[in-house]
Amino acid sequence: MIDELKKEIEEVRQSFLNEIAQIQSPDKLAALKERYLSRKKGAVSQFLLRLREFPPREKPAAGQLINQLKATIETELAGREASIGTASGPEAPWSDPSLPASDLPVGRFHLIADIQRQIEDLFLNLGYEIAVGPEVELEDYNFTKLNIPEFHPARDEQDTFFLDGFDDMVLRTHTSPMQVRYMLAHRPPLKIISPGKAFRKDDPDATHSPCFHQVEGLLVDRGINFSHLKGTLELFLRSFFGSGLNLRFRPGYFPFTEPSAEVDISCFMCSPAGTSGAGAASGPNPDCRVCKGSGWLEILGSGMVHPQVLLNCGIDPETYSGFAFGVGIERLAMIKFGVPDLRLLYENDLRLLGQFG
Ligand SMILES: [Zn+2]
């Protein structure tokens, strides 16, 4: 019985090889494939159906013969398809080694990291050091030594993450406690910036996040006055946003600086270079989507280090004075690149992030 099968299989194999050798078109090749490999009526299936007639001891050998036939047919068909193509599919694959390679995506820094590095580079060039502090901070450094009194609303449980079981520790609400750490450990002259994460108990919305990024700046030396602060911030903001920018210092209040100033920049979208934002000859554009028609953008908080803060850190305010400022990195990103919603910066959607860098 097995000899008979062997003979028949050999005949089918020969006729298949003869037929396939003649075929030149994908359509005819598809028909041939159907005739030999179709699951219902194909030649190979017919042989497999007969397998059940064989006595058990011959079944393995018979099955092997059929599988060899199937493998031969499949291999030949695949080779022929590669040379003349298939009826339904695209042209057989081919390659042209002279074509330029397709672009590989290039990694880059996240927008927040990128802006942080730009700021770091700028201040390193001005002789500042980068000082990085812990995100879990002593309440004393986060509040008390920075002259933030017990009754200050920043200490409210609605605003600050306190840590269960650690009464004296909080997730730092700003990068300013690094001022304290650095002043306790170093003597003036001091020039540092301190970038990093800060945490507040805010519900996420377009302009708030429970975790955000800040850069703190601190300079303490003999004879430091407000014009040093002003010059430094002018240099920083003009190099970041553009040289034509104007700055506006408004009186502000921070417990750890005195006097304190909120700093605005003239709108880089609608206030032409060299004019002051609001009140310029041409005036701001009332429809400007960046400044909402005001001509000014709030950008950071700053001031002269409060003498009490210097005292708290063991520095004599009669001899030394200093300035400090703090800026939100997300705020810089949103203003400079028109990112409308803070949360977009944390979603890591490459369609957004790929636009910058
Ligand atoms: Zn504007």
Same-domain status, 62 and 115: no
Cα 240 to ligand 1 centre (Å):
17
Helix (H, G, I), strand (E, B) or coil at 86: coil
DSSP state of 93: P
Mean pLDDT along residues 82-98 = 68
Query: What pLDDT shows up at residue 277?
Result: 46
Same-domain status, 118 and 206: yes
Cα 337 to ligand 1 centre (Å):
13
Cα 356 to ligand 1 centre (Å):
21
Cα 340 to ligand 1 centre (Å):
15
Instruction: Give domain status of residue 255, yes or no.
Output: yes
CATH number of the domain that residue 295 is part of? 3.30.930.10
Cα 120 to ligand 1 centre (Å):
27
Task: Read off the pTM.
Answer: 0.68
Helix (H, G, I), strand (E, B) or coil at 67: helix
Same-domain status, 68 and 116: no
Confidence of residue 290 (pLDDT cuts 50, 70, 90): confident
Query: What pLDDT shows up at residue 91?
Result: 55
Domain termination residue (choose one: 84, 119, 154): 84
Cα 294 to ligand 1 centre (Å):
7
Query: What pLDDT shows up at residue 279?
Result: 46
Cα 334 to ligand 1 centre (Å):
14
Give the C-alpha separation, 290 to 212, whole Å.
21
For the ranges 26-30, 113-117, 278-282, the maximum mean pLDDT occurs at: 113-117
- Higher model confidence: residue 98 or residue 226? 226
Cα 330 to ligand 1 centre (Å):
19
Cα 71 to ligand 1 centre (Å):
73
73: domain range? 2-84
Same-domain status, 280 and 166: yes
> Does the pLDDT of residue 209 top 70, yes or no?
yes
